[in-house]
Homo-oligomer: A and B are copies of this chain.
Amino acid sequence: MELQKSPLAPASFPEMPVIDGVQLATRACGIKYQGRTDVLLMAFDEGSTIGGVLTRSLTRSAPVECCQEHLKYGQIRALVVNSGNANAFTGRLGSESVARTVDATATELGCAKENIYIASTGVIGEPLPDERLTSALGDLKVDLSSQNWKAAAEAIMTTDTFAKGASVVTQIDGKKVTINGIAKGSGMIAPDMATMLSFIATDAALPSAVVQSLISRGADLSFNAITVDSDTSTSDTVLLCATGKAGNEIYHDINAPELSDFVDALNILLKDLAHQVVRDGEGATKFVSISVSGAESDAAARKIGLAIANSPLVKTAVAGEDANWGRVVMAVGKSGEHADRDKLSIAMGGVTIAKDGQRVEDFDEAPVAAHMKGQDIDIAVDVGVGSGIATVWTCDLTHGYIEINADYRS
């Protein structure tokens, strides 16, 4: 099955500048795919710090367990990623495979094991042929270069229809700081393939506790606010690494005013990458932004937003270009969060459709119908009980999703 590039893809992969202290290399190791790269080695200079956000799945993979363990130390020297095999639900074999990969990488780069991170994405339940990967480490080390960002984004793809990258320049204390990020998303052909991975690197100098706080908070507003089909991978991994080469002052409080430009730039980049994942959602033809206000808390607003975003009835209505506000009401009701039915209001494309619990009188459907025909759909809901707000993003549910996930047989 050949997948067409998503109609929602950005025009091109962005320019990715060098991040001082980061080098990348990719290689075709034949782990599952033929004729394409499937392993990425990222090497970081000594002193680089790391924070991460991992899947909340209770059946998480051996590589995720390794990351969780090593994040306690907050330091990174290398990240090894393979696509084609998730090394998930592989039992003892999976953990042993990760241990061998960590050992081999630590030996090759001459660093401590706890500074090595592993991520794997692809088929579930098949043992990972890790010797194909570890035997390539010497060559990967030779190939390391600070220029290979696009190749890195391509090597971690499974059935993504486009490579995902983003880059921003900002400052801390007047020192120029750069942030690069790559991601892979929810394009999924072969049964079992699904995982969100994202790796972000900056030359900023940041203590590991700050890096961890930055990525935890940032992921909540980006990767944890998107959904394609409500399903959760066993392997989702988002890592933020900081090499310190920019030479800025070190701050230990993420709320320090000197960090605010950096925090804003990082959050814009994380949101950009998360949106690219949605834009490559299986079968997606529309990118949907759902803003919820008037909830009891921001967390309640997000839960309501995700209930709307995960509703098959809302998603199929968007696919059908139908401004079906009744299905939005239904989804608010099923979220379990407090809402005042008689104060609820719903707008699409900026046009209020329902207010104070009933359809607005003399509602003119024409501008809403025109909005629904576009690629970017905006749904705004006020639930009328408080001041909590949130925005979440999803895509529509189309025949393309069924084709990719049901019609294709492994």
Contacts and interface: CB of A to CB of B under 8 A. Distances in A.
**Band of interface residues on A:** 35 or more
A180 B72 CA distance: 62
A341 B58 contact: yes
A376 interface: no
Interface string A25-63: 000000000000000000000000000000111111000
Interface in A229-286: 229-234
Contacts of A334: 56-57, 231-232
Nearest to A321: B409
A310 B230 contact: yes
A229 B399 CA distance: 16
Contacts of A336: 56, 58
Contacts of A191: 317, 322, 324, 326-327
Residues of A contacting B: mostly:
loop
A329 interface: yes
A215 interface: no
B333 A58 contact: yes
A59 B332 CA distance: 7
A3 interface: no
A20 B289 CA distance: 55
A117 interface: no
A344 B322 CA distance: 42
Contacts of A229: 312-313
A80 interface: no
A299 to B, nearest CB: 16
A93 B406 contact: no
A316 B401 contact: yes
A91 B357 contact: yes
Contacts of A56: 334, 336
A146 to B, nearest CB: 36
A354 B57 CA distance: 18
A88 interface: yes
Contact of A322 (B59, B342, B401, B410): B410
Given A91-B356, A124-B330, A320 B408 contact: yes
A359 interface: yes
Number of copies: 2
Contacts of A92: 342, 358
B402 A341 contact: no
A301 B89 CA distance: 20
B405 A313 contact: yes
Given A312-B312, A333-B234, A402-B316, A326 B58 contact: no
A9 interface: no
A399 B313 CA distance: 14
Contacts of A357: 89-91
Interface string A53-79: 001111110000000000000000000
Contact of A341 (B89, B313, B329, B337): B89
A331 B231 contact: yes
A194 B313 contact: yes
A125 interface: yes
A390 interface: no
Contacts of A310: 230
B342 A91 contact: yes
Contact of A397 (B55, B58, B342, B406): B406
B320 A409 contact: yes
A159 interface: no
Instruction: List the 4 closest pairs (A to B, CB-CB), nearest first.
Output: A59-B333, A124-B326, A57-B333, A192-B326
10 contacts: A59-B333, A88-B326, A90-B357, A91-B358, A126-B359, A231-B311, A231-B312, A232-B334, A312-B405, A320-B405
Given A124-B330, A230-B310, 6 more contacts: A58-B335, A59-B332, A89-B341, A89-B354, A232-B330, A312-B401
